[in-house]
Structure 1
Amino acid sequence: MEPNDTISEAPAPPPTPARPRPRGRTALLIAAAALLGVSGGTAVGYGIQAQRPPTPLPALSQTELAYPAKALPADKTPAPLPASQDRRVRTDGDLRKLLVDRPAGWSDDEEADWLDDGWMTVGSLAREFKNEAHMFEYFIESDVRRIAGAAWRKGEHREAEIRLVQFSSGVDTAAADFADGQRSYMSASENGAGNEGDAVEGSGSGRYYVYGVERKPGYEPFYRARAVMHRGDIMIEINLYDTRPISKKDIRTLAERQLERV
């Protein structure tokens, strides 16, 4: 077949015409019937309702008020909670006093330059993340109030770091959101511990993790454990580092003691 040759095709069937909409008198009859049906149904409904007995309305008065009409006398006013039971009194005070006591055998880490008299700046915390600028903006928008911390050493290689990140009390979920975000990647092996961790008793969603050992030629093995939890407006983070294995008991005990303090 030559390129210029053409192939005859069968003619396409004509399109099916659309059904025309009713016009003229037919349309008027349909509209009138529809209107009559609606009107008739409405009339029947009103007739049935009119034959039913009226439904009584609920009483507007109350038997008694849910609060006293006047203030209680001084001798009947309940005493305020003691400071040991009033959490707001404790968390509004010196946040550093809520840090767990340094265990026996540990000493303060004088080389912890991220601390200044037990306080940590928002900038220092943001610098610990890969995207420093983004995290700094996140902390400001989340209304971080203050950060207290502690750094200890035991022997030549074991180190401990504790941070209490407190958010303004008006932002109810900020501490929980920050803790959830930190736990969200801990099961990954690249940036996290590579496991789901274990629950910290009494913490709700708090968990502690023991990382797998990290080995590099020319370096001692590196072990790490971490706990992430929150209570109220405070997010709690604990890290342990060592060149020797860290047991689950080590990080769990420290996490439980810190949680009790907050």
Structure 2
Amino acid sequence: MEATEAVEPAQNTPAPVPDPGPEPPARPAPRRRGTVRTLALIAVAAVIGLVGGTAVGYGVQADREPTPLPPLNQPGLAYPKPLPKGQKRTPLPASQDRQAKAQGDLRKLLLPKPAGAKKDPYAEDVDGWMSVDTFAGMFTNPGGLLKGELGNEIRRIAATSWTDGKHRRTHIRLIQYRGGVSRGAEWFAEDQHAYLPGEDYADGEGSPIKGSAEGRSYVFPVDRKPGYLDLYEARAVFHRGDIAVEIFIVDSKKISEKEIASLAERQLGRL
């Protein structure tokens, strides 16, 4: 048996490389889809179209006749309603007409003195009337208050006062302002309500007066000083129409909330 000669592979022979085939054709460069100039032209055209359309729309609307509103579906809304033929409206009697009552003698609207009470000898009213300058002199800044009240068209002041018991004194003032556009009575009451709750006065918000929109009554803390009697004070402030009302009770004995509230409600009822 013949020996087979081993064939050794050739050393450093490169491996065969596969044929890649023919080269693919070169791709053409992509075309540009537009230019900056084209975009600018389109934008300008859009703006011109918008402005032109708006102008035409306004022009068309301006040339049209106004469209009338539809008639109301409730023809009976007119007020006051007309009376039947031959009938006339009768005015309110003076006892029910608040305006007529306020235009008369203002002193008649003041509460009368209680039975057994006496006229206060230190009262500052004269025959039931108080002058505006006397009224202003009761405040810490008389000149400023007088100027303000004249600007608010103050008209007149009716006042009454009495003593009841050993040291109790009661004062009521009706401060009337001119009607029309003036809101003097309302403003006066608001000014009093602004400072009365302070710690130097009632030191509290007070209590609402029944029947009044904004009226309040206040009972002050007792004022004690060596060598003097204790001082108790209560006030009520409200307004009705063109009349502002101030009520004061001063005593050396305690004043109840019920007492000042009752007095205020009775005075309000007379207005």
| SS state at 2:172 partner | strand
| SS state at 1:100 partner | coil
- Cα 1:29–1:129 change in 2 (3 A) is farther
Q: CA deviation at 1:79?
A: 1.6
1:35 paired with 2:64, answer: no
Question: Is the Cα contact below 8 Å between 2:236 and 2:248 reproduced in 1?
Answer: yes
Residue identity matched to 1:36: I
Map of 2:89 onto structure 1:
78
**1:120-139 pair list within 5 angstroms:** 120-139=130-149
Q: 2:205 and 2:162 mapped to 1: Cα distance?
A: 27
Q: 2:156 and 2:206 mapped to 1: Cα distance?
A: 28
| SS state at 1:146 partner | strand
| SS state at 1:163 partner | strand
Q: CA deviation at 1:61?
A: 9.8
Question: Is the Cα contact below 8 Å between 2:153 and 2:182 reproduced in 1?
Answer: no
TM-score by length of 1: 0.77
Q: How many residues align?
A: 228
Q: Alignment partner for residue 156 of structure 2, among 136, 146, 149?
A: 146
**1:44-55 pair list within 5 angstroms:** none
1:218 paired with 2:218, answer: no
Q: 2:84 and 2:177 mapped to 1: Cα distance?
A: 35
Q: CA deviation at 1:31?
A: 8.4
Residue identity matched to 1:238: I
| SS state at 1:184 partner | helix
Map of 1:260 onto structure 2:
269
Using the TM superposition, name which of 127-136 and 102-111 deviates more. 102-111
Q: CA deviation at 1:103?
A: 1.5
Q: Deviations over 1:177-232 (max 9, x none)?
A: 11011011111112x21010000000111000000000111101100000000000
- Cα 1:64–1:148 change in 2 (3 A) is closer
Residue identity matched to 2:207: D
- Cα 1:33–1:203 change in 2 (3 A) is same
Q: CA deviation at 1:107?
A: 1.3
Q: 1:72 and 1:172 mapped to 2: Cα distance?
A: 38
Question: Is the Cα contact below 8 Å between 1:143 and 1:171 reproduced in 2?
Answer: no
Q: Deviations over 1:88-121 (max 9, x none)?
A: 1100000000001211231111221x21110001
- Cα 1:221–1:30 change in 2 (3 A) is farther
- Cα 1:153–1:171 change in 2 (3 A) is farther
Q: CA deviation at 1:80?
A: 1.2
Q: Alignment partner for residue 217 of structure 2, among 204, 208, 211?
A: 208
Question: Is the Cα contact below 8 Å between 1:152 and 1:160 reproduced in 2?
Answer: yes
| SS state at 1:253 partner | helix
TM-score by length of 2: 0.75
Q: CA deviation at 1:159?
A: 0.2
Residue identity matched to 1:253: S
Map of 1:235 onto structure 2:
244
| SS state at 1:164 partner | strand
Question: Is the Cα contact below 8 Å between 1:186 and 1:194 reproduced in 2?
Answer: yes
- Cα 1:55–1:101 change in 2 (3 A) is same
